[in-house]
Amino acid sequence: MSWSAETVLNSLSSTAQSLLDFAIPPFCPLCRDVLAEPSDLPVCFCHACSVELCGQTGDRCLRCSASVGPFSDTQRGCVHCRSRTLRFRSAVCLGMYSGHLRQALLAAKWSFSSVQIQSLARLLALHTSQQLGAVRVDRIIPIPQHWRQRLWRHFNPAWLTAQQLSDSLGVPCDIHILRKSRRTRPQKRVSVRQRFENQKQSFVVRDAEVIRGQRLLIVDDVLTTGATCSEAAAALLKAGAAECHVAVIARVLDHSA
């Protein structure tokens, strides 16, 4: 029997991975249990934690994805967003920024590895596939970082999340269309009332002809007041986009900011 070089390399890789798993067993970064029974999803979390991260149920605001009471009419928004001018038409999220999702997202954003943020992004893609499929977007645009921020951040969570959604939906992801034109103060360091002003005119669109007439999906890691995504949507709409929608891993309510 002849063995191809690819077959030999795959066999050696599989053996090496098995030896590594035996010496240092993989564990779930959320509950810290050894992954004796890993999730059947392509994520780094165990099955139980994956189910819990995707398990938030209840009604959501169609406009900003905040949790709302049953029978609420949110076509024009909810108590969390009705008084705000948001330039995007709808938003989806994996869940509210609390409990295990908050713990997992904080750990993922400040990890040296991108494995955890990519796992959360895959769960987001799975959880929102039906809603995003119905929107039928033409292109996915992640919220960019300012070049100075890229010097000390290991990765951009929005880019990684957008790529996972792109793979899931079969829609192109473009990381070059939107550029951060000026460095803004981190939103968490700005009062809720000042966040829209903080983001004002902070995005520039490149190659506007590429997005003209398209439905766009803006992607970020979290949504609080909606100021960042709304300002990005304003720039994209001004450049000729038909409409903008938003997808984030977690929806942060104002009192949690």
Residue 25: other Cβ atoms inside 10 A? 11
Q: Which token pair is 175?
A: 């990381």
Helix (H, G, I), strand (E, B) or coil at 235: helix
pTM over 0.85: no
**Mean pLDDT taken over the chain:** 82
Domains, in order of start, for the chain:
59-256 (3.40.50.2020)
- 26-33 average pLDDT score: 82
Asked whether residue 200 carries a pLDDT value surpassing 50, the answer given is yes
Q: How far apart are CA 251 and CA 105, in angstroms?
A: 11
- 227-250 average pLDDT score: 96
Q: What are phi and psi of 103, to 5 degrees?
A: -60, -45
Q: Note the pLDDT of residue 121.
A: 95
Q: Which has the minimum average pLDDT: 48-62, 164-178, 209-223?
A: 48-62
